[in-house]
Amino acid sequence: MSDLINTPNDNSDTDQMTILDKAVNTTDKQKQIINYEDYVKRVTPTKSLCMNMLRAFLVGGLICCLGQFFLNLYTSQGMNQDDAGMWTTISLIAISVILTGFGIYSKLGEFAGAGSLVPITGFANSVAASAIEFKKEGQVFGIGCKIFTIAGPVILYGIFASWILGLGYWILKISGAL
Partner 1 sequence: MNNKQYIGRQSISFTNGPYIHAYASIVGKKEGEGPLGKYFTKIVEDDFFGQNTWEEAESALQGETVKLLLNRSGVSPSDIRYAFAGDLLGQLMATSFGLAEYNIPLFGIYGACSTMGEALSLASMTIAGGYADRVLALASSHFASAEKTFRFPLGYGSQRKFCATWTVTGCGAILLDSSSGSARVTGITTGRITDYGLKEKDNMGACMAPAAADTIYNHLSDFGRAPDYYDKIITGDLGYVGQTILIDILKTKGYDISNVHMDCGIEIFDINTQDTNAGGSGCGCSASTLCSYILNQIEKRAWKRILFVPTGALLSPVSANEGQTVPGIAHGVVIEAV
The residues binding partner 1 (CB under 8 A) are 1-2, 4-5, 16-17, 20-21, 23-25, 29, 32-33, 36-37, 39-40, 43-47, 52, 100-101, 103, 105-110, 112-113, 116-117, 122, 125-126, 128-130, 132-134, 136, 149-150
Least distance in angstroms from the C-beta of 160 to partner 1: 20
- CA 54, 56, 57, 58 dihedral sign is positive
- If one counts every other C-beta atom within 10 angstroms of the C-beta of residue 120, the result is 14
Euclidean distance between CA atoms 106 and 130, whole angstroms: 12
Euclidean distance between CA atoms 72 and 77, whole angstroms: 9
Q: Return the number of the residue (79 or 117) whose C-beta is nearest partner 1.
A: 117
Q: Return the number of the residue (64 or 79) whose C-beta is nearest partner 1.
A: 64
Q: Return the number of the residue (88 or 116) whose C-beta is nearest partner 1.
A: 116
Least distance in angstroms from the C-beta of 15 to partner 1: 12
Least distance in angstroms from the C-beta of 131 to partner 1: 9
Least distance in angstroms from the C-beta of 20 to partner 1: 5
